[in-house]
């Protein structure tokens, strides 16, 4: 083999290497862009999930606040009803004492009149 033949073989091997390397690089870039696309979709999906969870959490906090307000209102209503019940019981007791006093007073006057008439 002469030097020219060796050179031709070397150049053809070099060209084959360059073509193979170029195909490999193109394939790697394609795969890289696919991975980037998949990664971006995954990030977008995570962002969507995070947004949905944040909105859900906000709604839950609002519901807890409303429930707490309703619970506090019911507690105040019960306290008011108990207070009104106590006031009613005190009024009933006062009326009974007043009636008993009037009955006793009338009995005393009747006894006085009876003794006066006798």
Helix %, strand %, coil % for the chain, to 5?
Answer: 95, 0, 5
Four-CA torsion 59, 64, 69, 71, nearest 10 degrees: 140
For residue range 72-97, list pLDDT tens digits in order. Answer: 999 999 999 999 999 999 999 988 88
Token pair in block for residue 62: 């609002």
Four-CA torsion 61, 63, 69, 75, nearest 10 degrees: -120
Helix, strand, or coil (residue 73): helix
Helix, strand, or coil (residue 118): coil
What is the model's pTM? 0.52
Question: Within 13 Å, how many C-alpha atoms sit on residue 39's CB side?
Answer: 6
For residue range 58-73, list pLDDT tens digits in order. Answer: 999 999 999 999 999 9
């Amino acid at each position: 083999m002469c030097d020219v033949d060796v050179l031709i073989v070397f150049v053809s091997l070099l060209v084959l290497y360059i073509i193979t390397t170029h195909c490999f690089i193109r394939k790697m870039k394609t795969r890289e862009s696919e991975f980037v696309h998949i990664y971006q979709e995954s990030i977008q999906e995570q962002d969507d999930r995070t947004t949905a969870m944040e909105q859900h959490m906000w709604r839950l906090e609002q519901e807890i606040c409303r429930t707490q307000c309703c619970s506090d209102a019911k507690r105040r209503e019960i306290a008011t009803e108990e207070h009104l019940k106590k006031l009613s019981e005190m009024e009933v007791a006062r009326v009974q004492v007043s009636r008993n006093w009037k009955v006793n007073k009338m009995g005393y006057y009747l006894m006085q009149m009876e003794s006066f008439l006798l």
